[in-house]
Structure 1
Amino acid sequence: MSHLSLKKYQQTTLSNAGEASPYQLVALLFQKLLDNIATAKGAITQKDYAKKGMQISNAIAIVGVLEGSLDHEKGGEISGNLSALYNFCSEKLFEANANNDIELLNKVAQIIIPIKSGWDAIPLEEQGKVSF
């Protein structure tokens, strides 16, 4: 992706976020998390460790936002399980950053992808009822 295209994508994403519903914001967070992981893997391969560190730091921050948005009162066991998964992912992201470990990044992505798929599968008429 060219530099100009990347800037346009980022601007579109930011402007869309201002108009997004809470459901859509979480969907954007999941996608950005996976994008950060993919970019970090590429940065490790290219030995661009500053970029890798920035991408993994952003990924950790997103996982923190996702974990912080859970409503443990309404979510019960599901939110508890998600919290444990998010904490595990944060730990693995820290390890991947310290060790330049692509396999740990893959492990985190393999955990997040099914969660994102489940989120994306929530029917439109139910999206407004989703609580965090």
Structure 2
Amino acid sequence: MTYQQGGSRYLKTQVVSSSPEQLIPLLYQHLLVNLKKADEQIRANDIEGKAESLQKASAIVFELLSSLDMEQGGEIAVRLASLYSYFTKRISEVGRTLDVTIIQELVELVGSLHESWLEVASRQEEDRP
């Protein structure tokens, strides 16, 4: 088994065993990993690697968008949907322009969301009996 296959199995185990509150921060974490990898790959002129990392990042953003409950989520869901659409547009732009400053912007935004969701998940776990 290769390192990549082992990592893929570990990720699947994490996803399957995660509660809904834990899944969103996990997706943000993996989005950050792929954005940072794409940054490194662009700087190293690894165009194939960059394309793969950006494709994974886009798939994660799509999963985040798909997870939104637009009926129950109200204004927060609408704002997140708009933000995720922005992420998709910017990731696509990175693929065309190789502009790492866009990746840095996305890493900051996703990092803030990740921290916020970790706080929410922590509070929800504390509130459970």
* TM-score, structure 1 as length reference: 0.85
2:71 aligned to which of 68, 73, 85: 73
2:44 paired residue number: 46
CA deviations on 1:67-125 (whole Å, 9 max, x unpaired) are: 11111111111111111111011100000011111111111112111111110001545
1:79 and 1:47, CA in 2 relative to 1: closer, same or farther beyond 3 A? same
Q: Structure 2 unaligned segments of length 5 or more: list them.
A: none
2:26 paired residue number: 28
Size of the aligned set, in residue pairs, is 126
Q: Tell me how far apart the structure 2 counterparts of residues 33 and 11 of structure 1 sit (CA, whole Å).
A: 17
Give runs of aligned pairs for residues 74-93 of structure 1, distance below 5 A: 74-93=72-91
Q: Tell me how far apart the structure 2 counterparts of residues 9 and 61 of structure 1 sit (CA, whole Å).
A: 17
1:63 aligned to which of 52, 61, 64: 61
Q: Structure 1 unaligned segments of length 5 or more: list them.
A: none
Give the C-alpha shift of residue 6 in structure 1: 5.8
* TM-score, structure 2 as length reference: 0.87
Give the C-alpha shift of residue 61 in structure 1: 0.9
Q: Is the 8 A contact 2:32 2:107 kept in 1?
A: yes
When you count helix as a share of all residues, which structure comes out higher?
2
Structure 2 residue 96 is the aligned partner of structure 1 residue 98? yes
Answer 1 or 2: higher relative contact order, Cα 8 Å, separation at least 6: 2
Give the C-alpha shift of residue 7 in structure 1: 5.2
Q: Tell me how far apart the structure 2 counterparts of residues 125 and 104 of structure 1 sit (CA, whole Å).
A: 32
Partner SS for 1:47: coil
